[in-house]
Structure formats: structure tokens, C-alpha cells
Amino acid sequence: MLGYITWAFIAMVGYSFVFIFAKLAMDGGRISPYTVMSVSVAIVAVASLAVTLLTGEWRLDSYRGQAALMTYLTGVALTLAVVGYFTALSKGPASVVVPIYGLFIAGGAIPGILILGEAVTAKKLLGIGFACVSVILIAT
């Protein structure tokens, strides 16, 4: 069984190609960003459902209360992220859009500390700061 670090690297590699494929599809208005987004999201939805069913994780009996609300809010947040990302890629250079989008690293670490009570260390804060500085350096 693969560990979470391996899965994180797999995700990073996959996401590293999303922008280039999307940008090439939208280049010169060949395909609208919303068509590219819709097709991409449909593929993700079908694959996610298949993985959920094949692993036996489809359990709606425990789907209620706060867990259900957080699931819906996840969908809303993911919708904002995906629509914003594809729209930005269709309008601007990938070399600027992708690093700014990549700030979700800091954007996710901060609520992890503040809301989830995850440990905060000087090293972690320095890393968040460096992530922000790196985006400024890359995107400008």
C-alpha cells in the first residue's frame, strides 16, 4: 500500500501537467476554458466514483450532520478553485497564474494551524513565508 508521501508526489506530478494541457487546449481560443474545465471535471468525477466503489468506500449511511456539511463546502471550495484556475489560465500566462494558484500551499497550511490545531513551528512559518516569497519572485 502506498503511503501519503508517495500519493502527495503522485498528485504533484499530475497537477504539474494540468496547467500545460489546459493551456495548450485553450491556446488561441481553440476550446473555451469552461469546456476544458467541464470535460476535465467529468473525467475526475467518473474516476473518483470508480475508485470509491472499487475500494468499498461508498458509505452514505454515515453521511449526515457536520460531515455532510463539510463535504458540501469542499465541493463549493473546489468549484471556486477550479473555475478560478481555468479562467485565469485562459486569460494570463501560465508562468504567473500557476505560481499564484500554488499559494494554496500556504493557504492550506494556515487554516491547518489555526482551525485544525496542527503544530506550528518556526520552521513551518518560515516555509510558509518562503512559499509566498517564491511566488512573488516567480510571478513578477
DSSP 118: -
Weakest-pLDDT range from 8-12, 30-34, 56-60: 56-60
Whether 63 has a pLDDT exceeding 90, the answer reads: no
Q: Give the mean pLDDT of the chain.
A: 90
CA torsion angle 115 116 117 120 (round to 10): -90
What confidence tens digit (pLDDT) does each residue in 94-110 have? 999 999 998 888 888 88
